[in-house]
A and B are shown apart, each in its own frame.
Chain A
Amino acid sequence: MRRLFPSPEALRRRAPFSRWDLLVIPGVLALLALLTLALEGATAPYAPTSPDLTVSLDPVHLPYYGLRSLFRMLAALLLSLLFTFTYATAAAKLPRAEKVLIPLLDFLQSLPILGFLTATTGIFLGLFRGSLFGLEAASIFAIFTSQVWNMAFSFYTSLRTVPKELQEAAAMLRLSSWQRFWKLEVPFAMPGLVWNAMMSVSGGWFFVVASEVISVVGRERDQYLPGVGAYVALAIERADFRAMLYAGLTLFVLVLLYDQLLFRPVVAWAEKFKFEQSAPEETAQSWVLTLLQRARLTRRIARLPQPLWEWLWRQSARKNRPGAALEPPPRLRSRTRRADLAFNLAVMLGALGLLGVLLGYLFGPGLGFGGGQMLQPNPNLNPAFSPAIARRFAGLGIRPDPDQAVWLSRLCAATQGGTVLEEGLKMLLREPGVKAPPDLKQACQKPLAPEGRVAWPEALEVLRLGLFTALRVTLVVLLATLFWLPLGVYIGLRPRLARFVQPLAQFGAAFPANLLFPLFVVAIVHFRLNPEVWVSPLMVLGAQWYILFNAVAGAAAIPNDLKEAARLYGLRGGLAWRRLLLPAMFPALVTGGITASGGTWNASIVAEVVRWGDTTLVATGLGAYIARWSTGAFNPHVGLGMLAMGLLVLAYNRLLWRPLYRLAEERFRLD
């Protein structure tokens, strides 16, 4: 039945713009202008003679700093998306690729994020020689690493769990791979991807603040990139409370802007991709999305690439060719098996080779042994990498490394095995910043590791430090759970309250917790608390929110009939917790716990060494170890620290979280 009357919209003459465009057009122009401004700053020239300190504490600069930080965040997010789409797709689609790519992703994900900053600064400076963009790229890369892994994982998981019926429908319709990707796989993955991107960006603010101050080889001082993070770092160095307040305010506004201008609209838009059979009662709303959808300009812009898209679309179509079956024909299988074997062998050999190279890098050519003996640690006598101390050593004929490290072996060589010490050297060794072994003669007699390399006893020590950190992580996550769980349940069982609290908790997760660290330093110093214990809460400061909002979500998701039944049977108090709440919320708790512990591990690098002005508190742990060795260049010590943390986190997840997760999946699912 053809419509007899055209709809009223068709009759109305279409102006090229609607009144919504009055808001949208200036908005788009302003965005473009800001983007140019940020890009200009990011690509300024950079030379060895450029000033270190490009940041000032004057709050008038804060909007600009905010813009630059925001720009980094955005760039990192775009990169993450690009990586996610390629890497996860390759892992899910290429035959056998998954066997390498997924464990690799798992390992990369457990490496400490700030380690990447140290590891890549040199590379990026070399890549963008003469431009500030080298530093900028290092910072962006660190933020990228904080966001990308779980986005890639989420996308990969979605690709692997596309419902069978839809796969069959797509195959039956003979969609091409390109068409299937955009019409089936990407839409199906969208809600998970958006959610994970949102979580990632929340975590990303923490690293924006932590990655704008970068040490560079050959520069005595750290390099400050214009940004809120650098501003915060300077304020901490100068112990300026007022500046911290300004910075906090700026970050508050930034997180708010990001949320309102980017994520709310995207979340509201992604609602339609939810794979559910019935219409949900309420859906996410965003005024920005509404605005964009009503404005004609944006719709025009959105329609610009349409012809190209349509062309690609039709090019990729199968037209009259048969479609692809969902499984390969049986003939191919035996051939596949042989190829599988060859592939596994190649992967194993490759992994062994890599391991060899890695160990060679960490321990030097003898892999930690020399002359049939196990080599002993060759410590750095200038652990703070202080240029002043390094200069004094140099004055006494003991040459420091470019990054100011002074190796014991050089001292031994210059003093004939620690026997001949002139007076100046003796005095220098007694300075508070210098860490020399008490019995120099004896220390020099042992076979020392090559300069800059690690030794096996040190590897053991690092593992011990790692266990300390693991203990801290476990304890604080447990404490945070004990604290937030009852609150989360209280809120989650009251839908109206939950709707109000949920965005607040999300906001809390996004607000970079490192801003609050100085408060703790002041308190710890003031009350003479033991830093070994009292810096621990800092580690979970940023991650605790995941526990809260997963608890809220878990409690809110308890089906009504279960709650009714519990009420009917008079389930109350401890029994209600054991029989209803905990089992019903277990999956959400595990999810929250996994996210929170990951965040806590990552925060340990920043949290085990905290400063305020001249005060520095250090707690024993792997985070502090990595932080101490993070000078400008990547070195075997940072490598060892990252490796140890990576392995520990991997083991932690395998041994603790995975069994819990499986339990949650199998026993406690509510559907």
Chain B
Amino acid sequence: MTTAQTLLEAKELSKTFTTPEGKPFTVLDGINLTLREGEIVALLGRSGSGKSTLLRCLSGLIRPSAGEVRYRGQEVPGPMPGMAMVFQSFALFPWLSVQQNVELGLEAMGIPAPERRQRALEALELIGLDGFEKAFPKELSGGMRQRVGFARALVTRPEVLFMDEPFSALDVLTAETLREELLEIWHAQRMPLKAILLVTHNIEEAVLLAHRILVLSSNPGRIRAEVPVPLDHPRDREDPAFQGLVEQVYRILTAKPALEPPQEPIGIGYRLPKAPIEGLVSLLERVAEGPDFGREDLPRLAEEMRLEVDDLFPLLDAAELLGLAVLQEGDIRLSAEGLRFIQANPEGRRQILAERLLLHVPLLAHIHRVLHTRPSGQAPEERFLRELEDYMSAEDAEGVLAIATDWGRYAGLFEYDYNRGVLMREPVPG
């Protein structure tokens, strides 16, 4: 394996976007990675850690702000011949039939029509779509659509296949089938396919498919760890080695990065985790009621509550941010405050939460202060959005304010009038 040729390489890659206020914010920082022939690599990280951005930089869709990407030793100015991508949302052209969609990549290669048709039909057959050539994407189920997505990518006989959460829009069974089929194609060697780079936020998926897992940290995205998966395909979820690896990845994801000082005070521009308050409450309740009384293994919690990493980690982050729980070694443990919160009645919970929020979340303390210093007791949400946009993109700012509003309302810190987009101290009249 070590002697295998390098296909794709990123050196000191970083990517910076600008906020609406014109300030730069760094999404990816100092990324080094290589993709070698014969391997499947999974990029794993929390939502917003920059996985998709990294994938797009590597595939030439967007240009890194610094550093370089090389494909077979050549710099990548844009998508290269030999690259193909499968998208989470399928990205099929709804006005083209299945066959026309699949032929599209061949058209860009300048292949004559009869050969296009021939190769498209072969690809459709390979992926189990024969008989559907004439159908339009909207007539197909999600699983079938993603098959078309695969066929469209594979028909160009790529060497590198990029996949951005290809299975996360599918139901569990379909996703499992498609994963197996992907591995079959990979092992059948019918294609010149040499490497796959898979973005996912599903830890089990990464352990099922990849030879190597790269774990990305958030804000800015850096490669935090590399986990080799020395298991043969097909892998068994019940295998202790498999479960050990899953556990290991959970640990990495919950560990505090050693590099940064852990107690770094957070400011107004802190990206609050996307954790709806009901989700947080039911998570805490579940941990408190669990068999281990206030302590729970994360993989088990995720499975029981049917939460994917993308949903689970924001909840964990929020619990930790508010000091209601502690994460350790892939486990979650309720803190004393957390226990007090769970045992309180609704009114008590409100008060505890309000206290915690004002103490630990500067944004909420700020909103609270503004509303209390204004004689009207109101402020338009735009005001706070503008402030947040100093630190992040407009989209992210909206997301963060939405979460802050959700928490603040639950804790009774303020009210929110959706129709006017106004935050106010007093409840909405009428």
Task: Write the residues of chain A forming the contact surface with B, with a CB cutoff of 8 angstroms.
Answer: 1, 165-166, 168-169, 171-176, 179, 183-184, 187, 190, 272-279, 310, 313-314, 317-330, 666-667
CB of B77 to closest CB in A, whole Å = 5
| Contact present for A314 and B59 (CB under 8 Å) | no
Q: Does B284 belong to the interface (CB within 8 Å)?
A: no
B108, A166: Cβ atoms closer than 8 Å: no
12 A-B pairs whose Cβ atoms sit less than 8 Å apart in the complex: A169-B85, A173-B108, A174-B79, A184-B93, A187-B95, A273-B94, A274-B94, A318-B108, A318-B109, A318-B110, A320-B109, A330-B63
Bound-state Cα–Cα, A277 to B110, Å: 30
Residues of chain A within 8 A (CB-CB) of B89 are 165
Contact across chains for B80 and A165 when beta carbons are under 8 A apart: no
Residue contact B93 to A183, C-beta cutoff 8 Å? yes
Task: Say whether B277 faces chain A, with CB atoms less than 8 Å apart.
Answer: no
A535 to B59 Cα, complex, angstroms = 64
Check B78–A323 contact: CB distance below 8 A.
yes
Q: Give B contacts to A, CB under 8 Å.
A: 56, 59-63, 65-66, 76-81, 83-85, 87, 89, 91-96, 104-105, 107-110, 112-113, 125, 130, 136, 138-139, 152, 156, 162, 419, 421
- What is the bound-complex CA distance between A134 and B421, given in angstroms? 57
Considering only CB atoms, which chain B residue lies closest to A313 in the complex? B107
Do A322 and B62 touch (CB < 8 A)? Answer: no
A666 to B421, CA, bound (A): 10
Tell me the bound Cα distance from A327 to B16 in angstroms: 13
C-alpha spacing A331/B421, complex, angstroms: 40
Contact indicator A322/B108 (Cβ below 8 Å): no
Is A276 a contact of B60 with CB atoms below 8 Å?
no
A334 to chain B, nearest CB (A): 13
Say yes or no: A276 contacts B138, CB within 8 Å.
yes
What B residues does A667 contact at CB under 8 A? Answer: 419, 421
B61 x A171 contact (CB < 8 A): yes
- Take A168-B91, A187-B93, A322-B80 as given contacts and tell me if A173 and B110 are in contact as well, using a CB distance cutoff of 8 Å: no
Q: Which residues of B contact A329 (CB under 8 A)?
A: 63, 77
Residues of B within 8 A of A310 (CB): 112-113
Residues of A close to B156: CB separation below 8 A? 173
Q: State whether B62 touches A326 (Cβ < 8 A).
A: yes
Nearest CB of chain A from residue B129's CB, rounded to whole Å = 11
Q: What is the bound-complex CA distance between A328 and B105, given in angstroms? A: 23
Bound-state CA distance A274–B110 (Å) is 28
Q: Are A172 and B59 in contact (CB under 8 A)?
A: yes
CB distance from A156 to the nearest CB of B (A): 20
A314 touches B112 (CB 8 A): yes
A166: B residues at CB distance < 8 A: 91, 93
* A272–B65 CB distance below 8 A: no
Least Cβ–Cβ distance between B175 and chain A, in angstroms = 18
Of the candidates B89, B91, B92, the one having the most CB atoms from chain A within 10 angstroms of its own CB is B91
Since A168-B91, A172-B61 are in contact, a sample of 18 more A-B pairs with Cβ atoms closer than 8 Å, ordered by chain A residue number, is: A169-B93, A171-B78, A172-B83, A172-B162, A173-B104, A175-B107, A183-B96, A273-B95, A275-B94, A277-B94, A310-B112, A314-B112, A325-B61, A326-B62, A328-B63, A329-B63, A330-B66, A666-B421
Closest to B60 in A: A325
- Take A183-B93, A279-B138, A325-B60 as given contacts and tell me if A176 and B108 are in contact as well, using a CB distance cutoff of 8 Å: yes
Q: Which residue of A lies closest to B92 (CB)?
A: A169
Q: Tell whether, in the assembled complex, residue A173 and residue B105 are in contact, meaning their CB atoms are under 8 Å apart.
A: yes
Closest approach, in angstroms, between the C-beta of B305 and any C-beta of chain A? 28
- The residue on B at minimum CB distance from A666 is B421
Q: Contact check: which of A168, A275, A313, A320 meets B87 at CB < 8 Å?
A: A168
Contact of A172 among B65, B66, B79, B419 (CB under 8 A): B79
Give the residue name and chain of the B residue nearest to A321 (CB).
Answer: B81
- Please tell me if the beta carbons of A1 and B125 are within 8 angstroms of each other in the complex: yes
In the bound complex, residues from chain B placing their C-beta under 8 Å from that of A275 are 94
When C-beta atoms are compared, the residue in chain A nearest to B138 turns out to be A279
A268 to chain B, nearest CB (A): 14
Most chain B beta carbons < 10 A, residue from A176, A277, A279: A277
Across the interface, which residues of B come within 8 angstroms of A274, CB to CB?
Answer: 94
> In the complex, what residues of A have CB within 8 A of residue B109's CB?
174, 317-320
A172 touches B77 (CB 8 A): no
The residues of A that contact B419 with a CB separation of less than 8 Å are 667
Bound CA–CA A273/B137 (angstroms): 12
| CB-nearest residue of chain B to A325 | B78
Query: Is there contact, CB below 8 Å, between B108 and A327?
Result: no
- With a CB–CB cut-off of 8 A, which chain A residues contact B107? 175, 179, 183, 313, 317
B110 and A319 contacting across the interface, CB-CB below 8 Å = yes
- The CA of A165 and the CA of B52, in the complex, are separated in Å by 12
Given contacts A272-B95, A325-B62, contact A171 B79 (CB under 8 A): yes
B94 to chain A, nearest CB (A): 6
Complex formed: what's the CA distance from A417 to B164 in Å? Answer: 86
Cα A320 to Cα B156 in complex, Å, equals 12
| Cα–Cα, bound, A190→B162 (Å) | 31
Closest residue to B64 on the A side, CB-wise? A330
A165 touches B87 (CB 8 A): yes
Complex CA–CA separation, A330 to B85 (angstroms): 24
Residue of A nearest to B71 (CB): A322
Residues of chain B with a CB closer than 8 A to A1's CB: 125, 130
Q: Which residues of B contact A174 (CB under 8 A)?
A: 78-79, 81, 105, 108-109
CB of B8 to closest CB in A, whole Å:
14
Give the nearest-CB partner of B137 in chain A: A277
Q: Are B77 and A317 in contact, with the CB atoms below 8 A?
A: no
Closest chain A residue to B74 by CB distance? A322
Q: How far, in angstroms, from A328 to B60 measured CA to CA in the complex?
A: 11
A273 CA to B95 CA, complexed, in Å: 5
Which of these, A175, A276, A330, contacts B94 with CB under 8 Å? A276
Given the complex of chains A and B, what is the CA–CA distance between A307 and B395 in angstroms? 47
**Which of B62, B107, B125 has its CB near the most chain A CB atoms (within 10 A)?**
B107
Q: Is the CB of A175 within 8 A of B104?
A: yes
CB distance from A180 to the nearest CB of B (A): 9
Interfacial chain B residues near A175, Cβ < 8 Å: 104, 107-108
Residues in A neighbouring B125, C-beta threshold 8 A:
1
Instruction: For B130, list chain A residues within 8 Å (CB).
Output: 1
User: Contacts A276-B94, A317-B107, A667-B419 given: A172-B76 contact, CB under 8 Å?
Assistant: no
Residues on the A chain within 8 Å of B162, using CB = 172
- Residue in A176, A319, A322, A328 whose Cβ sees the most chain B Cβ within 10 Å: A322
Q: For the complex, what is the distance from the CA of A85 to the CA of B70, rounded to whole Å?
A: 38
The answer to whether A317 and B93 touch across the interface, beta carbons within 8 angstroms, is no
With the chains together, A330 CA to B63 CA distance in Å?
8
Partner of A183, one of B104, B110, B152: B104
From A173, A313, A325, A328, residue with most partner B Cβ within 10 Å: A173
Instruction: List the A side residues contacting B136 at CB < 8 Å.
Output: 272
Chain B: minimal CB distance from A7 (Å): 11
Q: A279-B138, A279-B139 are in contact. Are A327 and B62 (CB under 8 A)?
A: yes
Q: How far is the CB of A441 from chain B (nearest CB, A)?
A: 63
Q: Which residues of A are found within 8 Å of B152, using beta-carbon distances?
A: 173
Chain B residues lying within 8 Å of A327, measured Cβ to Cβ, are 62-63
Q: How far in angstroms is the closest Cβ of chain A from B139?
A: 6
Which of B59, B93, B112 has most chain A Cβ within 10 Å? B93
Chain A neighbourhood of B65, CB < 8 A: 330
Q: Would you call A168 and B61 a contact (CB within 8 A)?
A: yes
| Bound Cα distance from A238 to B56, whole angstroms | 72
A145 to chain B, nearest CB (A): 31
Contact indicator B60/A323 (Cβ below 8 Å): yes
A273 to B93, CA, bound (A): 9
State the CA gap A323–B105 with chains docked (Å).
Answer: 12
Q: In the complex, which residue of chain A has the Cβ closest to the Cβ of B420?
A: A667
A residues less than 8 Å from B87 (CB atoms): 165, 168-169
Question: Is B78 a contact of A324 with CB atoms below 8 Å?
Answer: yes
In whole Å, how far is B345's beta carbon from the nearest beta carbon of chain A?
A: 30
Question: Within the complex, what minimum Cβ distance (angstroms) separates B115 from chain A?
Answer: 11
How far apart are the CA atoms of A166 and B104 in the complex, in Å? 12
The residue of chain A having its C-beta at the shortest distance from the C-beta of B139 within the complex is A279
Q: Please, how many angstroms separate the alpha-carbon atoms of A187 and B92 in the complex?
A: 13
A172-B61, A174-B79, A174-B81 as given contacts; A317 in contact with B108, CB under 8 Å: yes
Write the chain A residue with the least CB distance to B15: A330
A172, A179, A276, A313, most chain B CB atoms within 10 A: A172
